[in-house]
């Protein structure tokens, strides 16, 4: 299996997004989730992505759920040395897709320290390979948050620093305090705003890019139904709610390219990302998530799919066809393009 670099961190060319193993898109049991992970790691998908906020919140509890990290702990107890482990802190309210009035992010140094200790304890590990600040805190300069994360590196609690949904300017300020290994934001065939400023800044600074929701939260695969997404928060988004029918033409374009290569839509979506990242001069590692082991293997197959110039042109046309925003929160500043 080939490897890729995110800054100085060496990872598998496709990672695994563990959020999809929790309740958010339907969920599964913790045992089944760990079996899917075993299949993925056996096959060479060793870069695992979680967050303290993923997983079902406990009744009556507030703040990050921590239950996705807890699900991972027994798996890591057996296979810690085989994986590169990424987790995140900073989103303090449960994610339900609504614009909760409560403060949703925390980037204070003391919070970074306590959140890191809590994640280490839940995960049952001594160190986190890549620790992200999940969302900038509008009340705390990013230099202060990253300064605290740099101290966590010094203390050996984390190995590399990542940031999620930062603007190019926030990235530059943070990178001046401590090298940033990876920036994680949504990037896919139907979410391309990061190509304007954020991806070029990563390419210039040598920061790796981790595209989240690389399959468009499942939409681009063509396997979802309207009824299925109506049962979770995706149905409440503009793209998968009122624009569901209008956006079907996007799925058809992906399917057309897939048929030409005897591949699946998911493989085309992931291969497009790898090709586009190479064109833009950035090292990128998408992190698709699935509850199904066979889909994890299918997604890894994208590494071997070669798209030609005609494929890329056809897929590029999707950009202008998308209806609805990628933002799942009713607040433009929640994503980087809303602050740029």
Ligand X SMILES: NC(=O)c1ccc[n+]([C@@H]2O[C@H](COP(=O)([O-])OP(=O)(O)OC[C@H]3O[C@@H](n4cnc5c(N)ncnc54)[C@H](OP(=O)(O)O)[C@@H]3O)[C@@H](O)[C@H]2O)c1
Which own/partner pairs from 173-177 qualify as long-range (CB within 8 Å, at least 24 positions apart)? 173/141, 173/142, 173/143, 174/142, 174/143, 174/145, 174/146, 175/205, 175/207, 176/143, 177/143, 177/146, 177/147, 177/150
Catalytic residue among 25, 54, 111, 132: 54
Whether 25 contacts 57, CB under 8 Å: no
Instruction: Give the residue with the Cβ less far from ligand X, 20 or 161.
Output: 20
Q: Is 136 in the site for ligand X (CB under 6 A)?
A: no
- Closest separation in Å from C-beta 161 to ligand X: 14
Q: Among residues 7, 9, 13, 17, which is the contact residue for ligand X, using CB under 6 A?
A: 17
Q: Is 209 in the site for ligand X (CB under 6 A)?
A: no
Instruction: Give the residue with the Cβ less far from ligand X, 155 or 231.
Output: 231
Q: Among residues 49, 129, 137, 311, which is the contact residue for ligand X, using CB under 6 A?
A: 49
Whether 301 contacts 263, CB under 8 Å: yes
Active site residue 54: yes
Q: How many angstroms separate the CA atoms of 182 and 7, rounded?
A: 7
Candidates 12-20, 114-122, 189-197, 252-260; binding stretch for ligand X (CB under 6 A):
12-20
Instruction: Give the residue with the Cβ less far from ligand X, 177 or 266.
Output: 266
Q: Among residues 14, 18, 85, 181, which is the contact residue for ligand X, using CB under 6 A?
A: 18
Instruction: Give the residue with the Cβ less far from ligand X, 155 or 243.
Output: 243
Q: Is 94 in the site for ligand X (CB under 6 A)?
A: no
Q: Binding mask 221-240 vs ligand X (x if CB under 6 A, - otherwise)?
A: x-x-----------------
DSSP string computed for 107-146: --HHHHHHHHHHHHHHHT-S-EEEEEE-S--TTS-HHHHH
Whether 20 contacts 28, CB under 8 Å: no
Q: How many angstroms separate the CA atoms of 136 and 321, rounded?
A: 30
DSSP string computed for 168-196: HHHHHHHHHHS---EEEEE-BTTB-GGGT
Q: In 3D, which of 135, 54, 24 has the Cα closest to residue 90?
A: 135
Q: Among residues 295, 302, 307, 337, which is the contact residue for ligand X, using CB under 6 A?
A: 295
Q: Binding mask 175-204 vs ligand X (x if CB under 6 A, - otherwise)?
A: ---------x--------------------
According to CB under 6 A, which residues from 55 to 74 bind ligand X? none
- Closest separation in Å from C-beta 50 to ligand X: 6
Q: Among residues 20, 71, 202, 271, which is the contact residue for ligand X, using CB under 6 A?
A: 20
Whether 270 contacts 288, CB under 8 Å: yes
- Closest separation in Å from C-beta 290 to ligand X: 3
- Closest separation in Å from C-beta 309 to ligand X: 25
CA dihedral 93, 96, 100, 103 (to 10 degrees): 20
Q: Say how many CA atoms lie within 13 Å of 158 toward its Cβ.
A: 27
Q: How far is CA 51 from CA 37, 76, 164, 321, in A?
A: 16, 15, 11, 32
Please identify which residue in the block is written with the tokens 């591949």: 263
Candidates 123-131, 243-251, 285-293, 300-308; binding stretch for ligand X (CB under 6 A):
285-293
- Closest separation in Å from C-beta 234 to ligand X: 8
- Closest separation in Å from C-beta 22 to ligand X: 9
Candidates 100-108, 192-200, 214-222, 300-308; binding stretch for ligand X (CB under 6 A):
214-222
Q: How far is CA 145 from CA 63, 64, 186, 282, in A?
A: 19, 18, 22, 25
Copy the structure tokens of residue 138: 């509008």
Q: Which stretches of the chain bind ligand X, using CB under 6 A?
A: 17-20, 25, 49, 164-165, 184, 212-218, 221, 223, 266, 287-292, 295, 298-299
Active site (catalytic) residues: 54
């Amino acid at each position: 299996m080939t490897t890729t670099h995110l800054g100085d961190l060496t990872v598998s060319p496709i990672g695994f997004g563990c959020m999809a193993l929790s309740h958010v898109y339907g969920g599964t049991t913790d045992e089944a989730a760990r079996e899917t992970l075993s299949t993925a790691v056996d096959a060479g998908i060793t870069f695992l992505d979680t967050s303290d906020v993923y997983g079902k919140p406990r009744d009556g509890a507030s703040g990050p759920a921590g239950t996705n990290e807890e699900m991972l702990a027994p798996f890591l107890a057996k296979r810690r040395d085989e994986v590169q482990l990424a987790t995140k802190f900073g989103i303090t309210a449960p994610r339900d897709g609504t614009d909760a009035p409560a403060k949703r992010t925390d980037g204070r140094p003391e919070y970074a320290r306590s959140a890191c200790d809590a994640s280490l304890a839940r995960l049952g590990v001594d160190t986190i390979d890549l620790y992200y600040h999940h969302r900038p805190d509008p009340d705390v300069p990013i230099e202060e948050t990253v300064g605290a994360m740099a101290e966590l590196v010094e203390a050996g609690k984390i190995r590399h620093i990542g940031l999620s949904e930062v603007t190019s300017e926030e990235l530059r300020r943070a990178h001046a305090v401590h090298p940033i290994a990876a920036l994680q934001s949504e990037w896919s065939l139907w979410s391309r705003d990061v190509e304007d400023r954020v991806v070029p800044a990563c390419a210039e600074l040598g920061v790796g890019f981790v595209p989240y929701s690389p399959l468009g939260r499942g939409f681009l695969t063509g396997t979802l139904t309207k009824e299925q997404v109506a049962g979770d928060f995706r149905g409440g988004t503009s793209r998968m709610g009122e624009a569901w029918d209008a956006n079907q033409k996007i799925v058809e374009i992906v399917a057309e390219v897939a048929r030409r290569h005897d591949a699946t839509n998911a493989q085309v979506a992931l291969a497009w990302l790898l090709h586009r990242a190479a064109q833009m001069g950035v090292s990128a590692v998408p992190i698709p998530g699935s509850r199904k082991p066979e889909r994890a293997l299918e997604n890894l197959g994208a590494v071997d799919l070669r798209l030609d110039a005609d494929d890329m042109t056809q897929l590029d046309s999707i950009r202008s066809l998308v209806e609805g925003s990628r933002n799942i929160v009713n607040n433009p500043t929640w994503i980087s393009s809303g602050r740029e």
